Chains A and B, each alone.
Chain A
Amino acid sequence: MTNHWRDIKNADVILITGANPAEAQPVGFQWFMRAKLDPTKGPGKGGGAKIIHIDPRFSRTSAVSDLYVRIRPGTDIALYGGLMNYVLQHDLYPAEYVTNYTNASFIVKESYSFQGGLFSGYDVARREYNVKEWAYETGADGFAERDMTLKNPRCVLSLLKQHYSRYTPELVSTITGIPQDAFLNVAEIVGQMGKPDKVMTIVYAVGLTQHTTGTQMIRSGALLQLLLGNMGRPGGGMNAERGHANIQGNTDNAISWDLLPGYISVPMAGDETIDEYVKKHAPKKLDPRSWNYLGTNYKKFTVSLLKAWYGARATAANDFAFAYLPKPSANSSWLSIYDQALRGKMEGLMLSGMSAMSIGPDSNQILQALSNLKWLVVMDPFPTTSSEFWHAPGANAGSIQTEVFMLPATHWIEKDGSFVNSGRWMQWKDQVLQPQDQSMHDHWIIAELHARVKQLYVSHGGAYPGPILDLAMEYRNPVKPTLDEIAQEVNGKDLKTGERLATFAKLTDDGSTSSGDWIYAGSYPPKGNMAKRRNGVQDPKKNDPTGMGFFPEWAWSWPLNRRILYNRASADLDGKPWDPRRPGIVWNGSKWVGDVPDYPPTMSPHDPKAWLPFIMTGEGVGRIWAAALLVDGPFPEHYEPTESPVRNALHPAISTSPVVFFYDKAAGRLNRFGTPDEFPIVATTYRLTEHEHYVTQWVPHLVQLQPEAFVELPPGLAAERGIANGDYVNVRSKRGMMHCRALVSKRFGQVDLGGTKVWQIGIPIHWGYVGLAAELYGSKSDHWLANVLTPFVGDANARTPETKAFLVQVEKA
């Protein structure tokens, strides 16, 4: 989240797309209800914030929303494009913000164009764009050219208007299935949110992420927020609601294959030295008033990370052991891992904190991938669908040669450590129970494994021993590091004095500082572990002095305990808040007060050299235009899901994303995508409040609440297929079949796509062949996973699987 949970109470409109927070984040949902029950909030004259929920399913979030709107899954870019078009056509955007705080004024090169569904620079054979064709015009000084009048036909605002002028209410309706009048109703409310005294938050989750256009889908919401001047403001922002207690912490600490801790790039093949790497990956300064904080300090963060990992073995003489970092030459994302296993190119796999079988798309294909391995290690507190993958429906246990090692790991309640919530708050927790039997903490298993491999290197030698032998394990017990020690290491220290750092501003690139993740520098300063702080609602006056819900002494929020990212944009050019009732930071004449400023604390807004407000970007402003950041376009464009019931209404010839990677085709495997003639129904997957992913299949009270897999389908479709509520049905996609109960409800329905009527259904994900529910009837192998239906294809940028929109057929079993 750019903002945080409690901040949602500050919003006038809460627009929820691709998310179901009442069910997936019920505790955080209290802040939505606070806004709704607060008469000072809301569009127009107030009377309470308006919650608008746009989703394929009428869920428990919709039940308390002011307005529910049914949408076809995978079409949110059309929705956001249409909303932007409405705002632009009706001149509803705040000119001061858009001109000065976004790259609306930046001039784009003549080489850019968009025609027939393709951006310029497309290479048909490689299915790739040359993203350089979307660059800014630059002057001799290397800075981007700008037109502050926003009149230049090649400035970003002009291109934005041109690009989204195609997204008329009629076209939005044809693509999304949202009736025109409903769309205009939403647009009218959203359109009011560009006024300084109004603010909207957008809330989303993996309903936007898990598409072949997922990155751009999220970006389309962020663009609307920039256009409305809602980024950086309390009650605003683009807010990802994370699906697990610590998934934000995972993301911050390099869960993604292409990122090192703190969102700096994994070096790629060809990055021979740190300087080459920094030159290639660090953002470039594009305006004289851009601080370009990330780009300027990229090397400091990288060197300090290497010092945390390789300690004294990382020296200026050996380029701080930069050579030790793996430099992948090919995509190594989640899907790519299992693709490699399918190709027979992987020997073993270690799973920790997740079950590949449950979370991966196309379960039959993941099953084959695991069956191709020589060995599989599963670290988990419970048996999982991966540790017992041979129980899967259709698996022939006798023919699977994979050797499986189940290492019982401790549950989070059996260890201390931190959770980082969606709002970037790092909150320390205590160990509640002692570990049971021989279970070990995951980090102890890894540490012990490292120690044993290291010993083998010492005794037997081996190829490229440096990264193993030189890894610094400077803990009191190197095979049993405490999470407190790791938290200190992540924070980092001054290596000359040994003192822990209070801010990443102290990090250096000469090897005199260390930090395991620069954005966490300051979380554990000399005065102690900030994540343990608990000065909260027991004394709101003292602990929330601004009344905005920042609670600066409750736990700690990265970076530097800042509660709202980009908060310089919460104040106008003079440093006054856009809305005095909802200040983020305010210039008081000598310094910025309020939230921890995302800006130099004493830099006057009246200083002619004052930095631009978005200090992390090379442009110094928010990016409506993505010059070379994404592989699939500088603006989000609607492309159909890989499996879609219709051709793209914008450009039928280029219906799906032209740069999506097709694993099966590339590997010479058979086609696994269905067509609407055989699979005419649009399906999506989702979670229910009663379960937390798959792990709660071991909790009797929760299994009672939702004991059995089901598919939720509309009465009209059920009548067509002779299906009654509670019947067993078979749901089939090109990839597999799921046998489960039918739940017939009007909460799902039909969408009208410009005359083409399409049924939509939904499948909750929580069940499978392992857990208490799998024991309720039949044998384990009678209980397939919902992901048996989902396609093995991912987002063009992140390769996140497209599990939220695909085609199926349904019949009575």
Chain B
Amino acid sequence: MADQVGFFTDTSVCIGCKACEVACKEWNGLAGDPPEFRDSFDNTGQLDAENWRHVKFIDLVPDAPTVVGNGQAWLLMSDICKHCEHASCMEVCPTNAIIKTEFDTVFIQPDVCNGCRNCISACPYAAIGFSKDTGVVHKCTFCYDRLQNDLTPACAKACPTQSIQFGKLDDLRTRADARVAALQAQGYSQAQLYGRDDKIYGGLHAFFLLMAKPEVYNLPNEQNAGLPRRNNRGGYLGALFAAAIGVIAGAVALRRGAQDSPNDRGAGEAEKK
């Protein structure tokens, strides 16, 4: 097996230029989605079968005449398939189309995929998309063809500010540790690494330096990073237990319903969280 490779995406130095998006499409022959004006500088919208890199624009800019930038007011993040160590998509794929390569990256073999789309539901990062043209699912390949030819993946090659760094996973982790320490020393207490260790899906091979909590970027945090399983005995038992509780709670609620308003939205919101 070759060395484990990774992407370290440092959002504190991302300038949202989208060179990664375009370089990815150019190399991988992706046409992209039809043009559509959306509600921000982001007109790509999401990762899908045609977009394997997607720069998120999260606007926290205050209405003020002076603002400290430093990557924490307008959060710019080049999102991508995380190439999870414990990959949810692999767990649910019924045809074993999704494999780990010799570089320990997660790769969908299009000729083995049957288009069932289980992986799309399972992926916590919505990184996989279904193509009507090919009838199968697609996502970032980590430029598997480039890796095999000892080339840097297209997105990292095009990134002008070294926000996207490619290399051996161990080296990247060392670099990331130094960078986050430097930022924290400068007073950016929210600066944190995401997926650098094994707490998120066993570790992400495409990991990030974030300038706010993962939730701000719509990423699952450590508590929410649960892995789906095809043989999920614990899960099924848990669900059975929850259902039993639900029946009892429902009966109680019915009895109370006579007294309380039936439109109990607050409780629903709390449950979601």
Give Cα distance in the complex from A716 to B62, angstroms: 13
Pairwise interchain contact A63-B35, C-beta atoms closer than 8 A: no
A residues near B19, Cβ cutoff 8 Å: 26
Contact between A27 and B160, CB atoms less than 8 A apart: yes
Interface residue tally for chain A (C-beta within 8 Å):
60
The answer to whether A39 has its CB under 8 Å from any CB of chain B is yes
Is B17's CB under 8 angstroms from A26's CB? yes
**B43 adjacent to A37 (CB under 8 Å):** no
| Pairwise interchain contact A705-B69, C-beta atoms closer than 8 A | no
Q: For the complex, is B186 an interface residue (Cβ under 8 Å from A)?
A: yes
Q: Which residue of A lies closest to B50 (CB)?
A: A704
Binds B, one of A299-307, A407-415, A628-636, A738-746: A738-746
A763 adjacent to chain B (CB < 8 Å): no
CB neighbours (8 Å) of B70 from chain A are 64-66
> Which chain B residues border A63 with CB–CB below 8 Å?
15-16, 69, 71, 73-74, 76
Q: Is the CB of A30 within 8 A of B76?
A: no
Within 8 A of B (CB), among A143-186: 177-179, 182, 185
Answer yes or no: A689 CB below 8 A from chain B CBs. Answer: yes
* Residue A68 interfacial (CB < 8 Å): yes
- Known contacts: A63-B73, A702-B22. The answer to whether A707 contacts B162 by CB under 8 A is no
Most chain A CB neighbours (cut-off 10 Å) among B19, B32, B37: B37
Chain B interface residue count, CB cutoff 8 Å, equals 45
Report whether B69 and A53 are in contact in the complex, using a CB–CB cutoff of 8 Å. Answer: yes
B39 at the A/B interface (Cβ < 8 Å)? Answer: yes
For B39, list chain A residues within 8 Å (CB): 725-726, 743
Contact among A58, A69, A773 for B61, CB-based, below 8 A: A58
Query: Which residues of chain B are near A36, meaning CB under 8 Å?
Result: 13
Residues of A within 8 A of B65 (CB): 69-70, 177-179, 182, 749, 751-752
Interface string of A43-77 (1 = CB under 8 A from B): 00001100101000010111111111110000000
B42: nearest residue on chain A (CB-CB)?
A: A705
Q: Which A residues are CB-close (under 8 A) to B37?
A: 707-708, 710, 726, 741
Please give the distance in Å from B212's CB to the nearest CB on chain A. Answer: 13
Question: A182: shortest Cβ distance to chain B, in Å?
Answer: 4
Tell me the smallest distance from the CB of B67 to a CB of chain A, in Å.
Answer: 4
Chain B 77-95 interface 0/1 with A at a Cβ cutoff of 8 Å (1 = within)? 0000000000000000000
In the docked arrangement, what's the CA distance between A683 and B104, Å?
Answer: 52
Complex interface bits, A706-727 against B, C-beta within 8 A gives 1, otherwise 0? 1110100011100000000110
Residue in B36, B40, B66, B76 whose CB lies within 8 Å of A69: B66
Partner of B16, one of A30, A60, A178, A702: A60
Give min CB distance, A686 to chain B, whole Å: 13
Shortest CB-to-CB span from B33 to chain A, Å, is: 7
Which of chain A's residues have a CB closer than 8 A to the CB of B67? 58, 62, 67-68
Closest-by-CB residue of A relative to B60 is A746
Closest chain B residue to A699, Cβ basis: B22
B44 close to A (CB within 8 Å): yes
Q: Within 8 Å CB of A65, what residues of B?
A: 69-70
**Residue of A26, A69, A749 contacting most chain B CB atoms (<10 Å):** A26
Nearest B residue to A39, CB-CB = B182
The interface centre, meaning the residue of A37, A702, A705, A715 with most chain B CB atoms within 10 A of its CB, is A705
**Is there a chain B Cβ closer than 8 Å to A457's Cβ?**
no
Is A701 on the interface with B (CB-CB < 8 A)?
Answer: yes
Residue A33 lies at the interface, judged by CB distance under 8 Å to chain B? yes
Question: What distance in Å separates the Cβ of A80 from its nearest Cβ neighbour in chain B?
Answer: 18
B59 within 8 A of partner (CB): yes
- B residues within 8 A CB of A534? none
The distance from the CB of A740 to the nearest CB of chain B, in whole angstroms, is 10
Contact call A58/B74, Cβ cutoff below 8 A: yes
Is residue B12 within 8 Å, beta carbon to beta carbon, of the partner chain? yes
> What residues of chain B lie closer than 8 Å to A70, measured between beta carbons?
65-66
A509 interface residue, CB < 8 Å from B?
no
Query: Given the complex, which residues of A lie within 8 Å of B31, measured CB to CB?
Result: 700
Once A30-B162, A60-B76, A63-B76 are accepted as A-B contacts, the answer to whether A704 and B35 lie under 8 Å apart by CB is: yes
Chain B proximity of A491: nearest CB distance (Å): 32
CA separation between A746 and B57, bound complex, in Å?
Answer: 14
- Bound Cα distance A69, B66 (Å): 4
Complex contact A701–B13 (CB within 8 A): no
- State A492–B25 Cα separation when bound (angstroms): 45
Q: Chain A 3-39, CB within 8 Å of chain B: the 1/0 string?
A: 0000000000000000000110011011001001101
Q: List 21 A-B contacts (CB under 8 A).
A: A22-B15, A22-B16, A23-B15, A33-B162, A62-B74, A63-B73, A64-B69, A64-B161, A65-B70, A66-B70, A68-B67, A178-B65, A182-B65, A185-B66, A701-B26, A702-B22, A707-B37, A726-B39, A741-B37, A746-B62, A746-B63
Which of A's residues lie within 8 Å of B, judged by CB? 22-23, 26-27, 29-30, 33, 36-37, 39, 47-48, 51, 53, 58, 60-70, 177-179, 182, 185, 688-690, 700-708, 710, 714-716, 725-726, 741, 743, 745-747, 749, 751-752, 772-773, 776
For the A-B complex with A30-B161, A64-B70 known, give 18 more contacts whose Cβ atoms are closer than 8 Å: A48-B182, A51-B69, A58-B61, A58-B67, A58-B73, A60-B15, A63-B16, A64-B14, A64-B71, A66-B70, A68-B67, A68-B73, A69-B65, A179-B65, A689-B18, A743-B39, A743-B40, A747-B59
